[in-house]
Amino acid sequence: MDNGVIVSSPAATIDNDATQLLLAFDDNRLASTLFGQYGQNLALIERRLGVVADQRGNHVSVAGSREAVDQARRVLEGLYERLKHGDELVSGDVEGAIRQAIAQGSLFEYDRAEVRPSFEEINLRKRPVRARTPAQDAYIRALRRHALVFGVGPAGTGKTWLAVAHAVQMFERKEADRIIISRPAVEAGERLGFLPGDMREKVDPYLRPIYDALYDLMDARIVERALETGEIEIAPLAFMRGRTLLNAAVILDEAQNTTSMQMKMFLTRLGENSRMIVTGDPSQVDLPPGQRSGLAEAIRLLRNVEGIAIITYTAEDIIRHELVARIVDAYDKERRKAARAGERYE
């Protein structure tokens, strides 16, 4: 018995590379949460690891290849341990645990070959935020070590959410006096005049994902107070011109929609004791045809500059619904096909 989990010896040897393992969890309530409503968490483990999981009360037998069964065991035991410590469990956590189990001992880009016993986490007052993929793990480590970090890749990979979480951690630890978050509004030209209302009413809909992340990671009363005092500032990119941002955690989101001049302007706002994070999806540029993305240019020019880290996500790192990764992959394949044919992909 180990931490409330009873592991039997392999119950049956199917062939030279297949086995079956029985796991028993001593808390029926936590076991039910672990397995998921209607066994959905077990079903996800089955699909992702290629095993067969059979649940009986607080017991589950797992059959498959030795490697896959061992990965499933580590996933279930790790998630159960988190439940015992009072953590909540959502499908993204299960997916993250699966990816962590797969990553251990496998080869990945940017130091992914490093075998890590657990992914990094960001400890906030409200709750901890854990990396769920090797790319997220590398991203969090880069945020801690570099003054300027680029996080680029498709939607749903957690780029903005983790950037906001890191900024909140700096704010809570008094490592930063302010959180400043910006993104291009509507298009890179920020043509807001036709919208009704004052400036805040004009731009708020385009900054809503930022607000959502803040309220998810901080107590709502603290967010409201910090917004009122200016300790948290959320503004369109144009508002950054002419400023020097000191003692701040600074985030530029949706950076693929910046022009070269806008990107240069923003990057040069970095002041003493500040950290800057730039996120964007190069495949979703809304600039007019022929206009170069400031994000793509910045990555090309700054890739080998000391003190700057660039973390690239792929469709494999998407942590939203399983279908999102498949949808992104399908569009990427079509885009590559059009590129080979010399066509413009719309």
Q: Give residue-wise pLDDT tens across range 110-123.
A: 343 343 456 788 99
Tokens standing for 75?
Answer: 């996933």
Question: DSSP class of residue 91?
Answer: H
pLDDT over 60 at 46, yes or no: yes
| Residue percentage of the chain with pLDDT more than 70 | 81
pLDDT for the residue 105: 40
pLDDT for the residue 9: 43
Q: Give residue-wise pLDDT tens across range 247-284.
A: 999 999 999 999 999 999 999 999 999 999 999 998 88
pTM of the complete model: 0.71
Q: Starting at the edge strand that comes first in sequence, how are the strands of the sheet with 178-183 ordered?
A: 232-236, 178-183, 248-252, 275-280, 148-152, 308-312
- Determine the 3-state secondary structure of 236 from DSSP: strand
Q: Give residue-wise pLDDT tens across range 271-318.
A: 999 999 999 998 888 888 878 899 999 999 999 999 999 999 987 788
pLDDT over 70 at 8, yes or no: no
Residue 193: Cβ-neighbour burial (10 angstroms; 0-12, 13-18, 19+): exposed
- Contact by Cβ (8 Å): 160, 210: yes
pLDDT over 70 at 192, yes or no: no
| Residue percentage of the chain with pLDDT more than 90 | 39
Q: In the chain, at which residue ranges do the beta strands (DSSP E only) sit? A: 5-7, 12-15, 18-25, 52-56, 59-65, 121-123, 128-130, 148-152, 178-183, 232-236, 248-252, 275-280, 308-312
The Cα 83–Cα 186 span in angstroms is 41
pLDDT for the residue 12: 41
Query: Between 94 and 3, where is the model more confident?
Result: 94
Residue with tokens 């749903």, as numbered in its chain = 156
The Cα 246–Cα 232 span in angstroms is 13
- For the chain, domains (ranges, CATH) are 5-103 (3.30.1370.10), 133-340 (3.40.50.300)
- Contact by Cβ (8 Å): 178, 248: yes
Tokens standing for 143?
Answer: 């945020």
pLDDT for the residue 38: 83
Residue with tokens 């957690």, as numbered in its chain = 158
pLDDT over 80 at 198, yes or no: no
Phi/psi at 277 (5° precision): -125, 130
Tokens standing for 86?
Answer: 């009072």
